[in-house]
Amino acid sequence: MKKRMIMTVLAGSSLLISQNIFASEVSFIPRASVGISHYSATWDIAAQWSDWGGDGNFNVLDLEDDLLTGGFGLTLAAGKFYFDASLEQTMEGSDELAEENSGEMVTRDFDVFAYALTVGYNITGGLSAFGGWNGHETSISSQYNAGDFDSTFSSAGWFLGLSYGWAISENSTFSVKAAYALLEGDIEGEELFNDNTKVLISSDAGDAAGATIGMSWKSYLTDSLSYTVSADWYNYTYEDFTNEFHLVEGENTRPLPTETSTSDIDEESYTFRLALSYLF
């Protein structure tokens, strides 16, 4: 379904640009960026175990670190329309969390991969509207005395926003933007114990609504080469994940029955970037 929606965005943006291509020349603007992102995420599970009795309320992860980022993007502009595609990958970060039962301090390593497809339209002057599809994937791994834990948290969804830019000089522009996103998340996890048994965790249908705001300064070094300094922030809270747990013993896999099991994830990021672009 996600691939189908991505293709819908691509098809729609291609139509917009093709309709306008006869009125204006199409510009190709590739870019590369580096930056640093202060990323944080918490994942809490509440479960009532039918077999074992009692409630299990525990924190699966609590991540926070400064991550170096690198990314690539391409903008196609024609008249008042533009289409943009971007990819970004962070370096690996780490954080420590006390294990729920033993109190052992466990280091969790993680990284984040993000992508976005955007269609925009210049309404008038410096005011533009934009929307599209974006998503990201956070991969987490850790080792502790009882075993290993690996998980992946991914989310994707639609966003819609406005931006406004001011020409500060003949070669420089300052702009601000704000967007609202509706996302859906998925969680996959595996905990492998030293006795070779494992617990599989899967959760889906975690819905989130959140905001993104940003600002940027763009200046041309030559007629074609430009640099952009930007700062972006987003905050998403995912709720109503439905969890499933399975115990794997050798070749046998059986569900761990729970009367109720839910997850919440809170995610926040501050990112500063420096990008170089070239206009063709």
Q: 160-172, pLDDT tens digit by residue?
A: 999 999 999 999 9
Half-sphere exposure of 14 (CA within 13 A, CB side): 6
**Residue 19: DSSP 8-state:** H
The pLDDT score that the predictor gives to residue 8 is: 38
pLDDT at residue 53 is higher than 50: no
Q: What is the mean pLDDT of residues 120-133?
A: 96
What phi, psi does 17 have (nearest 5°)?
-70, -40
Q: Pick from 160, 170, 162, 274: which is nearest to 217 by CA? A: 274
Residue with tokens 């609590």: 62
User: What tokens were used for 274?
Assistant: 């420096």
Place of tokens 């690539």: 72
Cβ proximity of 221 and 278 under 8 Å:
no
Local confidence band at 61 (pLDDT 50, 70, 90 cut-offs):
confident
Average pLDDT for residues 109-125, to the nearest whole number?
96
Q: Report the pLDDT value the prediction gives residue 57, as an integer from 0 to 100.
A: 65
Lowest mean pLDDT among 85-99, 181-195, 202-216, 234-248: 234-248
Task: Tell me if 141 sits within 8 A of 150, measured CB to CB.
Answer: yes
Residue 142 and residue 151 in contact, taking contact as beta carbons nearer than 8 Å: no
Beta strands (DSSP E) in 125-146 are 127-144
Q: What is the mean pLDDT of residues 21-46?
A: 85
* Mean of pLDDT over the chain: 83
- The continuous run of DSSP H or E covering 51 comes out as none
Cβ(41)–Cβ(265) under 8 Å? yes
Residue 3 confidence class, pLDDT cut points 50, 70, 90: very low
Mean pLDDT for the stretch of residues 131-142: 94
Task: Say which DSSP state 92 is in.
Answer: P
pLDDT at residue 155 is higher than 50: yes
pLDDT tens digit sequence for 250-278: 666 666 665 456 778 899 999 999 999 99
pLDDT tens digits along 74-102: 999 999 999 999 999 999 999 877 665 56
Q: Is the pLDDT of residue 1 over 50?
A: no
What was the pLDDT predicted at 251? 66
Read off the pLDDT of each residue in 10-36 and give the average, rounded to a whole number: 67
pLDDT value, residue 276: 98
Q: Which residue shows structure tokens 């989310």?
A: 155
List residues bridging with 233 in a β-sheet.
213, 270
pLDDT at position 14 is: 41
Q: Please state the φ and ψ torsions of residue 183, each to the nearest 5 degrees.
A: -120, 160
Give me the pLDDT at residue 279, please. 95
Reported as a pLDDT band with limits 50, 70 and 90, residue 201 is confident
Distance (Å, rounded) from C-alpha 166 to C-alpha 255?
A: 58
pTM: 0.84
Confidence of residue 35 (pLDDT cuts 50, 70, 90): very high
Say if residue 243's pLDDT is above 80: no
Q: Could you give the CA distance from residue 156 to residue 117 in angstroms, rounded to a whole number? A: 11
pLDDT for 219 beyond 80: yes
